[in-house]
Structure 1
């Protein structure tokens, strides 16, 4: 990429030709990259995205519309697990705000698969959505950077990714996990198992940090054999919990970093009632019928529907004021003993 400097704030808005010159490619290549077109070499995609970011280029919204000045009234929503009731609540929260403004949703499920997420983003862009609300799977986020450079408003829900300028709403994952783990330590537990999603998932990393911070503050070493991450569904969590219970020195308590891991752990405990009788569980994320669980369970609660509402409000504000500064909102958690 050439060393051409970004335009000053007071100069005219950068054009496709400016981005092409800075990236060392043709204007046609810039257009193909920013529209999500195929068959562009990765190094050229990166050069175009870097040039667009450096110049502050944003594709004209009217140029994407069916007619100049007209929007489609569609918001694309991409969640990671349609089978998880948590994300159903997030979607309902988004829908509540968006439909009140006379708009409709297009909803896709990425299944924590970055390639599926990329395909959904490109498909929604092709359908001329007015904005995207995404729970990102993580990994290569070139497609999200492309969407932003193409002038499509983007809000990220529950997870943040590096290198993408967008409005973001998160949950206070680390402090919630720290407080839940500190509760177990205060109860006298020293062998606390950690059950979580894979390390590449943003929320799993933050909740693990909170778990580790509580141990560090208490001066307690963590047994690495009790750290189990990578369970993306309740079946995998069940198998891991059975394995932990069968060990020579099983845990006396469990910190579960999401509701699918919690449900899997509870299924395993139901099969081993003698272990369940002495086990203390702290679960991040509430789940259906949690108040009826016949085990010693505490829950770190937050409101997934409000997470969706907040992401949707950010989107509505972004559509009304495209040049405003990106927002970062962190929603609180509540410990239910």
Structure 2
């Protein structure tokens, strides 16, 4: 059996053929759909592909030998969220300064989709990757790869990686995050100082890095006032506006509904405002609606019908900082030895008293 290629170098189709003991043409036909290739040979080829970590080179016809692609792959988790559009603008601005272009992909918080997207990026010979890691595995995988394994150096070879907004255990990559814990603690403290004691919580998936940190900050603020989170007032796992609206309805329908709500991201805040606005229009629900403090700003926030404070930061700056970390790792950069973590500050901004 042939030896694997040296560490850091992408395997070739000829090396896959040697490992599978077939011709390069059989490998090509298998990867193109398997037409005319016996099932047993297809199995051998696919096994060799997995063992060697082979990725199809989608740019092979357009690139001269030794020519860089000029592409930076950017993976985000929610293409429908304008926040990530602003984030990508920050990445693109820095990439343009370095004469590169970005290609964008959406994972939908699904690690299986992230795994395929990263493989596609590598196949297109990207020079580097900026990834907002997905938070959970929502599809069955056909292998036993551990979560986040698609971001390991073993799979990426020499392609530099920067993680944005979230860290991944076991992945030693440069990372830029926000002060999630401190911001959530400050936001919850504002509600407590205003006299609120029944504070609802709207958050995203428990497995999401930012969701864990922001809930921790929420709990810390309550503990500093001798309180604990009431499970009846905690709604987590909302990934979109509609699920956040339904979760808000559940909170407001409780006999002793919360007087304030802390929201862990802008999708949850918008969902909460939609439900509150609906009840104001229809005259349903309690006479006084809860005050809101939410992480992340959003468009038209100043039209809120209830008191609102946002924990604000610049998504464009987040993207730009991630790109700067990446270009430090590319040829001509400073080439730091150890992985770096940058934590960006957040601020409280009162939208309506």
TM-score range, shorter chain: 0.7 to 0.9
Q: Contact 2:135 / 2:205 at 8 angstroms: preserved in 1?
A: no
* Structure 2 unpaired stretches of 5+: 8-14, 21-30, 32-44, 54-61, 137-146
Distance 1:148 1:275, change over 3 A: farther
CA distance in structure 2 between the aligned counterparts of 1:116 and 1:212, rounded to whole angstroms: 32
Q: What is residue 70 of structure 1 aligned with on the other side?
A: 67
Seen in structure 2, the aligned counterparts of structure 1 residues 323 and 310 have a Cα distance that, compared at 3 Å, is: closer
What is the aligned partner in structure 2 of residue 285 from structure 1? 296
Residue 118 in 1 paired to residue 131 in 2? no
Secondary structure of the structure 2 residue equivalent to 1:335: strand
Counterparts in 2 of 1:39 and 1:275: CA distance versus 1, 3 Å: farther
Gapped runs of 5+ residues in structure 1? Answer: 1-14, 20-26, 50-64
Distance 1:40 1:213 in 2: 49
CA RMSD of aligned residues (A): 2.8
Deviations 1:304-327 (Å, cap 9, x if unpaired)? 000000001111111024463222
Counterparts of 2:302 and 2:216 in 1: how far apart (Å)?
A: 27
TM-score where L is the length of structure 2: 0.77
Taking structure 1 as reference, are residues 98 and 147 closer, same or farther at Cα in structure 2, changes over 3 Å only? farther
Judged with a 3 Å threshold, the aligned counterparts in structure 2 of structure 1 residues 69 and 236 are, in CA distance, closer, same or farther, namely same
Deviation at 1:195, TM superposition (A): 0.1
Q: Does the Cα contact within 8 Å between 1:269 and 1:276 map onto a contact in 2?
A: no
Q: 1:248, 1:282 → 2: CA distance?
A: 22
How far off is 1:148 after superposition? 6.0
The verdict on how the C-alpha distance between 1:229 and 1:293 changes in structure 2, with shifts beyond 3 A counting, is: same
CA contact (8 A) 1:110 1:116 kept: yes
Q: In 2, Cα distance between the equivalents of 1:304 and 1:153?
A: 22
Q: Which has the larger radius of gyration?
A: 2
Say which SS state the counterpart of residue 243 (structure 1) adopts: helix
Q: Match of 1:328?
A: 341
2:322: which partner in 1? Answer: 311
| Residue number among 231, 244, 250 corresponding to 1:243 in the alignment | 250
- Structure 2 counterparts to residues 109-148 of structure 1, below 5 A: 109-139=106-136, 140-146=147-153
Residue 83 (structure 2) pairs with residue 86 (structure 1): yes
Q: Is the Cα–Cα contact under 8 Å of residues 149 and 155 in structure 2 kept in the other structure? A: no
Evaluate the alpha carbon distance shift between residue 333 and residue 276 of structure 1 in structure 2; reply closer, same or farther with a 3 A threshold: farther
How far is the alpha carbon of 1:66 from its aligned partner?
A: 5.0
Q: Which residue pairs with 1:5 in the alignment?
A: none
State the number of aligned residues.
295
Between Structure 1 and Structure 2, the one with more helix by share is 1
